Each structure stands twice: as structure tokens, then as C-alpha cells.
Amino acid sequence: MSRVEVAKTYKLFIGGKFPRSESGRSYPVTDAKGRFLANASHASRKDLRDAVVAARKAFGGWSGATAYNRGQVLYRVAEVMEGRRDQFVAEVAASEGLAQRKAESVVDAAVDRWVWYAGWTDKLASVFGAANPVAGPYFSFTVPEPTGVVGVLAPQKSSLLGLVSAVAPVLATGCTAVVVSSAERPLPAITLSEVLATSDVPGGVVNMLTGRAAELGTWLASHADVNAVDPTGADAAGRVEIAREAAGTVKRVLDVPDGEPDWTARPGVGRLRAYLEPKTVWHPMGV
């Protein structure tokens, strides 16, 4: 007996839930050869505002968790991704037009990238903090703190490894994220949302929107409750407009090179540093 395949409805990921876009819009997603794959939700400005509210609500609990606990959570994401490896490989291969073996290496690198950032969570204070020398009867300490809600325009070409490389450092520092996925290659991002929902990441820590960076980027940058923006997925003109809009609320805009970097290279600590704010505390000796 033949059976009818269960069609999947691709939705947004906001506040730990999977709503449809409030606008009711969707758009067709095709593979690297132009063949139809699915219809993805087309996020609106209202969806973006809902995502920022969810990210702000989750920030207190996530930033207040111990560094050790955040590392465990990020490692758990890698575990769940490993269990869905075949699905990620198929989606990356279709989205990016890669051969099977190349797609497998990309997925493995994305899993390893989560593990790499998981290992950094309990080292940030030591690397980016300091005990400052003071000429007086005082202790002076500089402690790194998470900057807050981060808007991420995900890479347009690297649908999974680039996405993970942009989102993982946000979470490792204790920030929360509102992510606009690659518009043409959103399926790995949607599957990553399902991984986040079924791992130990609290609802609202990551909010994933499928849509157009050109439409949502400037609104994300101008939102007064967003503290930093990663404009990687915007084009050159969009980055200029994002910087202009971000200046209105004095938020940090990540300095990224034109085009997309080599995501397979060692990530370094630049993206970790970008989402930390140094706080210096003075305390009298003997008190």
C-alpha cells in the first residue's frame, strides 16, 4: 500500500515556540539547481518585534546562569545536532549544491564549532577580565559582562557553518539572539531551530526568523531594545544603512569584512569580545 508523505510546515522560532508569520506571508525555497524544496515563512516587522521581546525576556535568566551551565547547554546542542547529522547533510547539500562528502564535512565542522564555543564559556572572565594595579589602598577588578540582545543577520551563502559561527559566540557570552536566516538557504536554520528547541536552550535565548535581511535588517538595527548587531548577511548598501540606524540608539555594530569570511578557519576570539562589556569595580582594602 502506498502512503502519502507528511508535508512539513516551515515556521518561525520565537520564544521557544514555532508560530507562523503574523503577516501570513511565505516564499518558495529552491535548491542550488532551482528545484522547489519548500515554502518558508516570510517574517514581518511585527514578528521581529515579538522576537526582540522574547530575547529580552530570556536575557536575565541566560546571562545569570553560571558559565559552566552555559557550556553544558551549548555542548548539548552539539549532541543533538550530531543525532540529526543525516538531515543536516541532506539540507546543506541541497541548499548549497555540495557533494555528499563536502556537505558531511561542513556539518561536522558546525557541530565542532558548538563544542569549541562551549569550551569558552568558563574562560571568558579569565581571558577578558583583569585585576588592575592601583596606587592606593584599593582593589580594582575588570569583569566582562554580556552586552544584551544581539541581532544577527546570518550569512547568506554558508547556510549552517556560517550560521553557527555567528550565533554560538552570542550564546557563549551570555547574550540572547534574534537571527534572520539566509533568505535563499533557510532550511538548515529551521532544522537548527528544532535542535535548539529540543536541547536545553531556554525559550527566547535564540529566535530564528526566515525572511529577507534587506527588509528586516534596518528595523533590527533601529530597535531600541537591541544592544548589538552582526550585519554579516547584509549587502554593502544594507550595512551602511544598518550602521546609520544603529547610531540612533548607540548600539554596537560588529565590524565584518566585505563578503563572507572563510568559515572553516579557526574562529578566534573576536566575536566573543564583541559581545562583552568590561565593568571595572573598585573596592577598599580591608572592608
Q: How much is the pLDDT for 116? A: 97
Q: How much is the pLDDT for 148? A: 97
27: in domain:
no
Q: Does pLDDT of 264 surpass 70?
A: yes
What value does the mean pLDDT take over residues 174-197?
A: 97
Distance CA 219, CA 55 (A): 16
Q: Does pLDDT of 17 surpass 90?
A: yes
What value does the mean pLDDT take over residues 6-18?
A: 92
Number of domains in the chain: 1
97: in domain:
yes
Distance CA 26, CA 7 (A): 15
Q: How much is the pLDDT for 250? A: 83
7: in domain:
no
Q: Does pLDDT of 21 surpass 90?
A: yes
Residue-wise burial string across 245-267, b where 16 or more C-beta atoms lie within 10 A, e elsewhere: bbeeeebbbbebeeeeeebeeeb
pLDDT confidence tier of residue 2, bands split at 50, 70 and 90:
confident
120: in domain:
yes
Q: What is the pLDDT of residues 37-78, one digit of tens each?
A: 999 999 999 999 999 999 999 999 999 999 999 999 999 999
Q: Does pLDDT of 156 surpass 60?
A: yes
Q: Does pLDDT of 253 surpass 90?
A: yes
99: in domain:
yes
What value does the mean pLDDT take over residues 232-259?
A: 91
Q: What is the pLDDT of residues 81-118, one digit of tens each?
A: 999 999 999 999 999 999 999 999 999 999 999 999 99
Q: How much is the pLDDT for 287? A: 57
Q: How much is the pLDDT for 140? A: 83
Domain that holds residue 126: 38-284
What proportion of the chain, given as a percentage, has pLDDT over 90? Answer: 83
pLDDT confidence tier of residue 3, bands split at 50, 70 and 90:
confident
The three cell numbers locating residue 21: 508569520
149-153 vs 176-180, strand pairing mode: parallel
pTM (whole model) above 0.85: yes
CATH number at residue 277: 3.40.605.10
